[in-house]
Amino acid sequence: MAAAAPGAEDELQEEGGLATLTRDEQPKDIAAIHAVVTAAFGQPAEADLVDRLRADGDSAISLVAVDDSGIVGHVLFSKMSAPFRALALAPVSVMPERQNAGIGSRLIRAGLKRAATDGWEGVFVLGEPEYYRRFGFDAVLATGFTSPYAGAYFMALALNGGLPMKAGKLGHAQAFVDLR
Ligand SMILES: CC(C)(COP(=O)(O)OP(=O)(O)OC[C@H]1O[C@@H](n2cnc3c(N)ncnc32)[C@H](O)[C@@H]1OP(=O)(O)O)[C@@H](O)C(=O)NCCC(=O)NCCS
């Protein structure tokens, strides 16, 4: 029997002759994702956070970048409480030896595309504005929202047009709350 065709959202990219596929996380990937996130951050805290978000049912979108060597990158979008359908982007991880080759950007763009397709209305992220600006994240757009993460590094991105509301109370998934 022929192998299953990639899903509609699966994307194959070439970079320096090295093919990288972006696809949904599968149950068999869990240990490899933990290893990639741990390697990217140099500690297991963020990888444990991914496991907890998944176990709690708060993971909405979890994508991996795969090449012949296995999983080389991962991104997770988790459910938030918000005045509209919103996701939090975090964490995003690329194997140290594969960083700065576009893998993180492709994972984020694929995740944002999926979020829009799935009807999510906005995405929030806490991170380096210099990095996240390129995807359309804007700190000014997040200023009306109440969150423990509010500040210059807290950004919002509107999917499918504009944010339905410019202000309101945000809550991250419990796994994030327990980190603080
Ligand atoms: C951050 C990370 C996911 C980016 O993925 P990547 O595949 O290396 O990045 P890309 O190739 O898509 O993009 C490279 C660009 O991002 C920039 N960049 C990478 N990390 C950055 C950071 N922490 N702050 C600002 N810019 C950063 C690079 O300077 C480069 O900029 P340029 O395009 O202007 O040259 C990856 O470096 C990583 O896993 N880092 C460790 C974990 C981490 O800090 N995650 C983010 C917080 S959740």
Can you name the CATH fold of 11-177?
Aminopeptidase (3.40.630)
With bands split at pLDDT 50, 70 and 90, how would you rate the model's confidence at 1? very low
pLDDT of residue 180: 75
Atom of ligand 1 nearest to the CA of 89: 48
Distances (CA, A) of 128 to 47, 137, 152, 169: 20, 10, 9, 22
Global pTM value? 0.93
Mutate to test the pocket of ligand 1, among 38, 63, 94, 109 (most ligand atoms within 8 A of CB): 94
Task: Give dist(CA 88, CA 121) in Å, integer.
Answer: 11
Output the residue whose Cα is nearest ligand 1's atom 20: 131
pLDDT by residue (tens digit) across 68-89?
999 999 999 999 999 999 999 9
pLDDT by residue (tens digit) across 84-110?
999 999 999 999 999 999 999 999 999
CA–centroid distance, residue 174 to ligand 1 (Å): 26
On the question of pLDDT at 12 being above 70, the answer is no
Task: Give dist(CA 14, CA 120) in Å, integer.
Answer: 29
On the question of pLDDT at 133 being above 80, the answer is yes
